[in-house]
Structure 1
Amino acid sequence: VYSHRSQVLHTLVMALPNALGLSLTDVILPVVPMFHANAWGIPFAAAMVGAKLVFPGPHLDAVSVLNLMADEKVTCAGGVPTVWLAILDALDKEPKRWDLKALRQMIVGGSAAPPAMIEGFQKRHGLHVLHAWGMTEMSPIGTICRLKPQMKAMPEADQFRVRATQGLPVPLVDVRAMSESGEAKWDGKSMGELHVRGPFIARSYFQNPAEADKFTMDGWFRTGDVVTIDPEGYVRITDRSKDLIKSGGEWISSVDLENALMGHPAVKEAAVVAVAHPKWDERPVACVVLREGAKASPEDLTLYLEPMFAKFQLPDAFVFMQQIPRTAAGKFLKSALREQLKDFKLER
């Protein structure tokens, strides 16, 4: 449940310079279906500042989107990581085909963006990816990842590390990470469920009292995302609480494994889910789509991951697929993967 006031405040915040920084000179392309928060977040802000809005219609394949961005001289586009991964792949194959000099930022949200994707756009094509996070319940914007001025003097690798986080809360939004023992420290390591509060966050679910426990007595909304917050205030999503893998009493982040796998040159897409194990309760299994013409074995991918993860965090198996199931918004549909793998047998 929202109010007209909450939508006006959200729209004003979205356009601020340190949020999306929109103005009447922008040409804005939302590469998302026009339902729930997608239909009023960026479009309302574009209308408020007088920017031109461009819509892709049903043509969401990479070549059609790139043609549209070049033809309309799009300055700002927004989509989920799977959209941008496909576009990066198309640009890598034909880097001189499209003139994208007008494009000043590509907003990525909906799920965590692989760091390799952010670096790939910047280093190979000179295109800036702006990482953001939000939820329908937030109208939808919650955090935006822009570097603080002093961070621009940091080594490039450190800048990319920060840019891969979900960023800082936008104005009027407060955040905290809550663990079983209370509020987690802002040290970049302590994990907790992300709670948010602010004037454009939904106050309740319409005629759905079963969801009332998502709102705390002291005015916070429980997002269901597990995060860390560093001393500078940057939020990093570790996982959705329902997607975390608990193996032998230890938590394993599916997001960290997915992002690392998508940094492998042969991997186009990767999604990691929990599979039941007779000894450890759950173990991670990676579903992988390889790039066209590329080859990689489970042993190759394990060797690639070993320097980045403890042994217990490594996937027990790799399942190679032609395509990973998606939601209508383009996110990986992990519930479908869990259903496909419900009878998958792992060695003891």
Structure 2
Amino acid sequence: MNGFDLTINNLLETAARDNGDQKIVYMGKSVTYNEFYKNALNLSRNLIRIGVRKNDVVAVIDYDSLMYMYAYYSIPMIGSILHTVNIRYPPEIIFYTMQRADDSYIMIDESFMGLIVKNRDYLNFIKGIIVNSAGHRHFDVNIPVYYFDDLLKDSDAKFEEPDENDTATLFFTSGTTGLPKGVSFTHRQLVLHSIASIAALSNEPIKYNINDVIMPLVPMFHVHAWGIPYTSIMNGLKYVLPGKYDVPRILETMATERISMSAMVPTILYMLLSDKNAKQAFQNLNLKVIIGGAALSRGLAERARAYGIDVVSGYGMSETAPILTLGVYNRKVINKSDEEKFEFRLKTGIPIPMVSLRVVNNNRDVENNGKEIGEIIVRAPWLTKGYIKDEEKTRELWKDGWLHTGDLAVVDEYGYVKIVDREKDAIKSGGEFIPSLILEDLISTISGVNEVAVVAKSDDKWGERPVAFINGNLSVEELKLKMMEFVDTGRIAKFWIPDDFIFVNEMPKTSTGKIDKKVLREKLR
């Protein structure tokens, strides 16, 4: 150790040194960076005191809380590994991921302890449970229980700081096909990802800076909350934690705390904009929002713009820590008109620093014409080395030395990538691709459409044909007339028009808030 390794320890120490009086806010209460750093060190020391050791895996089961924020730092700081557990999984999948991760300890909010008590006989691999319980409630488990607030008290326990190449985090993919797959990341990868993300986010129209007040609405169990708990602290922002997601309370907090920046999946943005108090909450906020996890439709972006919200697309995967691209402006587009630049925000974006990204078709880079479709493959310093305990899937992921995303995209003349489909979602009709995301984008602009998802159904003649699921208030006839307008203006080919429009009251969602197309496809069988 030379004291200058790229570790979570040094990230937090320098952040507290440079912005010690800045605040982290949770449920109306706050701690300064200096207080947070002191408490994080105490938590690290007390974790050592109760038996947590280097390379032990500590599972965290909680909403987006202050305890979770401490876990992001304190667990990796002693060379242990933070396992962010997806609380939206069913219990059997939660325990599957915990066993596959080799968890030794659990850090958990008391509201989830019923899950542990009910399944205590299956948790013989757990050595201790750290509970955030204000009243120090007793829990009927045959495992040592410690209380979170006790572990924030002063401790003189010693620990050896980790090496930058030590594993810091692990979690599991959302598992849209088969069981979830585990990925892990080192201290060095997380710090490099943070540095590159800050560099990219500083560009227009985001201009991420020390004056921003950020409240991310990306669950902390999901891909490092897109790295925001690290990038925001490193950059000295005031950080507001939302707790359990509740739309009215989130809108109230946004107004009270004067939130200037957030990040979320399209579903969350749709829910916020649909609330009766949205207009009042967003008034005069000048809010900037990064949208990821799923494509940002034009219809949703235009609704957000009407509320004074600047939206920008971002793209990444569980396997990539996650950020790969952002819809920020490069030198080729920055001097265009505002309306022209708005188009580039809706694209998947340009690679952030230190990301090498190619779109390939038959091992050849596609032409930058916005038309030729290929698969996105990437290299970057922070990509996962592979799937935990799964050599076969790892080989598939890293075929020919590039990480294969499975996302199909085009590249325009300005270098901007736009995803048009997932390989597994692509509709191949009569030997040609019909890009579902382009159809969804256009349908989203039709008045009365709230949410839309386009999937493939089997067809004896064409192989596959598109079907559109719609949440909205309009008729099939209105949809078909509008689709013909898109044909007449050259925006789509006539054979792209979905064969069926199926109305649903609610779209099925994955554990990370994306529309679950697998469920929709099953409805067509």
| Shared fold (TM-score, shorter chain, > 0.5) | yes
Match of residue 518, structure 2, among 313, 319, 335? 335
Match of residue 52, structure 1, among 223, 238, 241? 238
Q: What TM-score, normalized by structure 2, do the two folds share?
A: 0.60
Q: Which moved more, 1:28-37 or 1:128-137?
A: 28-37
**SS of corresponding position for 2:185:** coil
Match of residue 223, structure 2, among 26, 30, 37? 37
Q: Which residue of 1 aligns with 2:479?
A: 301
Spell out, residue by residue over 1:110-148, the C-alpha distance to the aligned partner (whole angstroms, 9 max, x if none): 1110122223322x2222111111111111101011123
Instruction: Judge conservation of contact 1:132–1:167 (CA < 8 Å) in 2.
Output: yes
Q: Distance in 1 between matches of 2:320 and 2:351?
A: 12
Q: Distance in 2 between matches of 1:59 and 1:99?
A: 17
**SS of corresponding position for 1:30:** coil
**SS of corresponding position for 1:86:** helix
Q: Distance in 1 between matches of 2:286 and 2:511?
A: 26
**SS of corresponding position for 1:66:** helix
Select the structure of larger CA radius of gyration: 2
Q: Distance in 2 between matches of 1:65 and 1:133?
A: 24
Q: Which residue of 1 aligns with 2:51?
A: none
Instruction: Judge conservation of contact 2:349–2:416 (CA < 8 Å) in 1.
Output: yes
Spell out, residue by residue over 1:49-88, the C-alpha distance to the aligned partner (whole angstroms, 9 max, x if none): 2322222222243x33222211121111000011112223
**SS of corresponding position for 2:333:** helix
Q: Which moved more, 1:267-276 or 1:297-306?
A: 297-306
2:398 equivalent to 1:215? yes
Instruction: Judge conservation of contact 1:31–1:60 (CA < 8 Å) in 2.
Output: no
Change (3 A) 1:150 1:247: closer
2:376 equivalent to 1:194? yes
Instruction: Judge conservation of contact 1:178–1:184 (CA < 8 Å) in 2.
Output: yes
Change (3 A) 1:233 1:266: same
Q: Which residue of 1 aligns with 2:347?
A: 165
Q: Distance in 1 between matches of 2:278 and 2:245?
A: 21
Spell out, residue by residue over 1:231-274, the C-alpha distance to the aligned partner (whole angstroms, 9 max, x if none): 22101001111111011111111111111111111000001111
- Could you tell me how far 1:198 is from its partner in structure 2? 1.0
Q: Which residue of 1 aligns with 2:308?
A: 126
Q: Distance in 1 between matches of 2:453 and 2:224?
A: 24
Query: Alignment RMSD, CA only?
Result: 1.9
- Identity fraction in percent: 36
Q: Which moved more, 1:181-190 or 1:140-149?
A: 181-190
Whichever residue aligns with residue 292 of structure 2, its letter is G
Spell out, residue by residue over 1:30-49, the C-alpha distance to the aligned partner (whole angstroms, 9 max, x if none): 11222141446111111222
**SS of corresponding position for 1:284:** strand
- Could you tell me how far 1:209 is from its partner in structure 2? 0.8
- Could you tell me how far 1:155 is from its partner in structure 2? 4.4
Spell out, residue by residue over 1:183-220, the C-alpha distance to the aligned partner (whole angstroms, 9 max, x if none): 21222211100011111111222221121111132x31
- Could you tell me how far 1:150 is from its partner in structure 2? 5.3
Instruction: Judge conservation of contact 1:32–1:79 (CA < 8 Å) in 2.
Output: yes
Q: What TM-score, normalized by structure 1, do the two folds share?
A: 0.90
Whichever residue aligns with residue 113 of structure 1, its letter is L
**SS of corresponding position for 1:97:** helix
Whichever residue aligns with residue 482 of structure 2, its letter is Y
- Could you tell me how far 1:95 is from its partner in structure 2? 6.2
- Could you tell me how far 1:330 is from its partner in structure 2? 0.7
Task: Mark the runs of 5 or more structure 2 residues left unpaired by the alignment.
Answer: 1-183
2:297 equivalent to 1:114? yes
Instruction: Judge conservation of contact 1:15–1:21 (CA < 8 Å) in 2.
Output: no
Q: Which residue of 2 aligns with 1:284?
A: 466
Match of residue 225, structure 1, among 398, 403, 407? 407
Instruction: Judge conservation of contact 1:115–1:160 (CA < 8 Å) in 2.
Output: no
